Amino acid sequence: MSYPRFRYIAPQSVKEAVEILHIAREKGEKAKVLAGGTDLMVQLRDRSEIPDLVVDISRIPVLQRIERMGSDIRIGPMVTHAMLAASDLVREYVGVVSEAARTVGSPQIRNLGTLGGNIVNASPAADTIPALVVLEAKLVLTGPDGEREMAITDFFKGPYETVIEADELLTGVIVPLPPPSGRAVFLKLARRKALAIARMNLACMLYYNRQREVFEWVRLCIGSSTPRPVRMTSAEKALEGKTFSDEVLQNAGAAAAEQMVQLSGLRSSTAYKKPVVGDFVMRAVRMAVEKG
């Protein structure tokens, strides 16, 4: 097993890390940020990434925190999937993130792999992204000119492509606390149980008002099915204001499948994915309603 040659540096603060990235950019050098390395080491090994410099951010304590800040939970990008799965704060307030993190890879991958790496790598199969989309999370990017904040859906340009600049770090994930009435579900379809990267995953959060017998609001996001993570707004609209019934569920499933095809175009996988998307949506919505 051989890796390309590169210089390695482990800054102790965000400021130092950003300065290093900025200098590298000015010099025309390619720098790569290293978090847990579970994606990057594979990319270095197969030489799809050949950096001049690797900037290891694992020694910056401020990036490893999970804190409640008013009506938000702020999660540092160096928080691992294992930490997300174990955090009382995450489980209690934004449990769908912890559910998603629990399905990532194996215990070894969950101990090393981070939330920030999962987001910035921008794989369509990334498990935490649909959960963060339905929570309407915001990302904080820090660069030489300071911080900028954006909705998570604005971060992705396409598969493995984001708007992050070469001298920017993802420094925070801000998750607004969802209304307590919301019920959330995360589902994952994968080929194998162990080390299973999603063939499709889905996060759903909704409020079904049992007194009025209507879906008050619904948020749905399906991973590995659209070029970039988006809300399945047509399925959301097919549910909102309606009473729970098999017909309403079927309409929502069909609307999600149609939106997936519109966004992705017809592909060889469409014949398989279309019914699965519909079924996934129906299953998730039913499970969320059954949560009470």
Ligand X SMILES: Cc1cc2nc3c(=O)[nH]c(=O)nc-3n(C[C@H](O)[C@H](O)[C@H](O)COP(=O)(O)OP(=O)(O)OC[C@H]3O[C@@H](n4cnc5c(N)ncnc54)[C@H](O)[C@@H]3O)c2cc1C
Binding to ligand X by residue 287, rule CB under 6 A? no
Binding to ligand X by residue 121, rule CB under 6 A? yes
Residue from 127, 230, 257, 281 binding ligand X (CB under 6 A): 127
Binding to ligand X by residue 113, rule CB under 6 A? yes
Binding to ligand X by residue 117, rule CB under 6 A? yes
CB-hemisphere CA count at 13 Å for 267? 15
Within 135-174, which residues bind ligand X (CB under 6 A)?
Answer: 164, 169-170
Instruction: Give the other-Cβ count within 10 Å of 231's Cβ.
Output: 18
Residue from 11, 18, 24, 38 binding ligand X (CB under 6 A): 38
What's the distance, Cα to Cα, between the start and end of the chain in Å? 52
Residues whose CB falls within 8 Å of the CB of residue 272, separated by 6 or more in sequence, listed in order? none
Q: Tokens standing for 247? A: 């017909």
Residues whose CB falls within 8 Å of the CB of residue 93, separated by 6 or more in sequence, listed in order? 68, 73, 175, 177, 178
Binding to ligand X by residue 51, rule CB under 6 A? no
> Which string of x and - marks every residue 8-27 that binds ligand X (by CB under 6 A)?
--------------------
Residue from 84, 90, 126, 260 binding ligand X (CB under 6 A): 126
156-170: string of b/e by CB count within 10 Å (b at 16+)?
A: beeeeebebeebbbb
Residue from 18, 24, 34, 218 binding ligand X (CB under 6 A): 34
- Site residues, ligand X (CB under 6 A): 32-40, 42, 57, 77, 104-105, 109, 112-114, 116-118, 120-121, 126-127, 164, 169-170, 195-197
